[in-house]
Amino acid sequence: MDARDTVYELMPASAGQMAEQELARELRAGSQAAFNYLIAVYHQPLYRLLYHLLQDPTEAADAVQDAFLKVFRSAAQFEGRCSVKTWLYRIAVHEAANHRRWWRRHKRRETSLDESAGEGVAWSERLSSPQESPLSLAMRAETRRRLETILAGIPEPFRTTVVLRDLEDLGYEEIAEVTGAHLGTVKSRLVRGREMVRRQLLETELLRAGAPARETL
């Protein structure tokens, strides 16, 4: 292990601690330490993103592995024209699309026994506040399940756009780079995607209240 590897291992897992250009240069050079650092910083964010897009913890975990494998294989071609984060998210979104296509060709035969556990990992940081009461946590969990169910029914590319903007907090320009869409298209998809979510939420509330769903029209 050389001095450069030691520096990488001693650095805290925060993307802001390392200059983008330096990180890109080390990745292109094939630095294993830089690649390990990338995994340490972005594994959880990419898992969260892919879980929201695929709605399955096992599939999300597999997609994360596939995404990082593609990152490793294509690192030499990364030119640094976009941020490392944008590059990673672009690969992850593409991998999610690959997994969705695979599921459309192969009928899903069983429900993962790890679904509940995976869901807890994806949302653990948001549900671990000691200041929240059990009732508050239960209500948030119920709202989360309803939102995830609704998101699962939102067609692409609107779902990806909503997830990237409202759950991952990416800017419009970043989403355009990740998805390869024009800025105006991103904004249009976001408006339509949000409206789909809003309508589904309203319909769900009406159904829970015993009102007919047609009242949402």
Q: What is the pLDDT of residues 54-111, one digit of tens each?
A: 888 998 999 999 999 999 888 888 877 888 899 999 999 999 988 877 665 554 544 4
pTM of the model: 0.68
Q: DSSP code of 214?
A: G
Contacts of 1 (CB under 8 A, 6+ apart): none
Q: Within 13 Å, how many C-alpha atoms sit on residue 129's CB side?
A: 10
What pLDDT does residue 134 have?
53
- Give the domain extent around 147: 127-210
In a domain, 187, yes or no: yes
Output the domain CATH number for residue 137.
1.10.10.10
In a domain, 169, yes or no: yes
In a domain, 215, yes or no: no
Q: Which of 179, 143, 139 is nearest to 161 (CA)?
A: 179
In a domain, 145, yes or no: yes
In a domain, 173, yes or no: yes
Same domain, 172 and 87: no
Same domain, 195 and 162: yes
In a domain, 216, yes or no: no
CA-to-CA distance for 67 and 128, rounded, in angstroms?
28
Same domain, 54 and 161: no
Output the domain CATH number for residue 88.
1.10.1740.10
How many folded domains does the chain comprise? 2
pLDDT in tens, 166-206: 888 899 999 999 999 999 999 999 999 999 988 888 887 66
Same domain, 177 and 77: no
Same domain, 110 and 159: no
Same domain, 155 and 184: yes
Same domain, 46 and 140: no
Same domain, 115 and 45: yes
Q: What percent of the chain has pLDDT over 70?
A: 66
